[in-house]
Chain A
Amino acid sequence: MTEKNKYEGYPKAAPGTHVRESDIREKKISYSWWEPEVQYSWSLGQAMSKFLIGLKAGKILGVHCHRCKRVITPPRMFCEYCYGPTEDWVELKDTGVIETFSISYLDPDARRIEDPILVGVVAIDGASPQHGFMHYFGEMTKDEIKIGMKVKAVWKPEDEREGSITDIMYFKPLKEGDE
């Protein structure tokens, strides 16, 4: 069989049209829409609760594992290396180093966007090397962001904080003498 008549006898391509947002809004097409109620309640536990209370107060908290000699953030009650209980809470700096990052051209709803979102892992200063959490990066372009870059947290105003990881809005580049 040659390439040319490979699809002989097949039905023609199915007719189709792209659905635009305006078609849905103006009800030009027939559709069903359902919004299920999917609520969840995540039990934070002792360590994460204290961490979030710390964020509300503008502090990044960590916890010590004396056996492994490391400072962990986000804190947990157990060290996942030695399974021993963690002890001694420490207040860490709100600065850190970009450990890894992504340039995302999709927003949280998977819509394509022109201005990319910068996300990545920040190793927090005061915690052990490579210990930190994921967050947004701001006040820098996709060309400026680099692994190893020094960054500083940009906090929400105190009255808007609610005990959430988003109480830090993003991490901005740390300039000389900013500390």
Chain B
Amino acid sequence: MTFGEKQTDPTTPMHWRGDMQADYFYPAGIAGDKFFKHLKTNDSFLASTCDKCGKIYCPSRLYCEDCFEEIPENAWKEVPASGTVRLYTIATLNAHGEKLENPTVVALIDVDQTTSSMLGIINLVDLNKDYTGLKVKAVLRSKEKREGTMKDIIHWELL
């Protein structure tokens, strides 16, 4: 087969199709494991306090990100699953760049009684509303359906 005799039969294999297996596995770690196991059976969050600088982490951590101090076992506490919107953005495209039928409000929420923030989705969409500073509460899956991941928080609702 040279240039003169090119393949023209469309049934011959001209492409090799494959599926690359690239599974993504992310263990939550010791502190994260404790946090999610707590979330599975409770309607609140776990937070851990740094003795040295007073930062309160939620989701809880084993080490302080700021001063690298180890956070002891007794510095863990339960905090309510509520907070204040610090900032937000209204997404009109999905992860693939396609236009969303219903835009979503994605917000950074300062969790109550902590110095940490969490990303979440607010269920009420009002394009003209200013969400900053509003009080929100996490809406969790029913306890039977919880699987111990961030997805257990369905969304946050305005109080």
Contact = CB atoms under 8 A, between A and B. Distances in A.
Interface of A: 11-12, 14-17, 19, 24, 27, 29-44, 46-47, 49-50, 52-53, 77, 85-87, 89, 163-164
Interface residues of B, number: 36
A49 B69 CA distance: 61
B149 A30 contact: yes
Interface of B: 1-3, 6-7, 12-28, 30, 32-33, 35-37, 62-63, 68-70, 148-150
B2 A85 contact: yes
Contacts of A35: 21-24
Given A39-B17, A41-B17, A49-B12, A89 B24 contact: no
Contacts of A14: 62-63
Contact of A31 (B12, B15, B26): B26
Contacts of B19: 37-40
B58 to A, nearest CB: 15
Nearest to A31: B27
Contacts of B24: 32-36
Given A12-B70, A40-B20, A49 B13 contact: yes
A50 B1 contact: yes
B62 A15 contact: yes
A44 B23 contact: no
20 contacts: A12-B70, A19-B27, A29-B28, A30-B149, A31-B27, A32-B28, A33-B24, A33-B26, A34-B23, A34-B24, A37-B19, A38-B19, A40-B19, A41-B15, A44-B13, A46-B1, A49-B12, A52-B13, A53-B12, A53-B13
Given A11-B63, A31-B28, A35-B23, A85 B14 contact: no
Given A53-B12, A85-B3, A163-B13, A29 B27 contact: yes
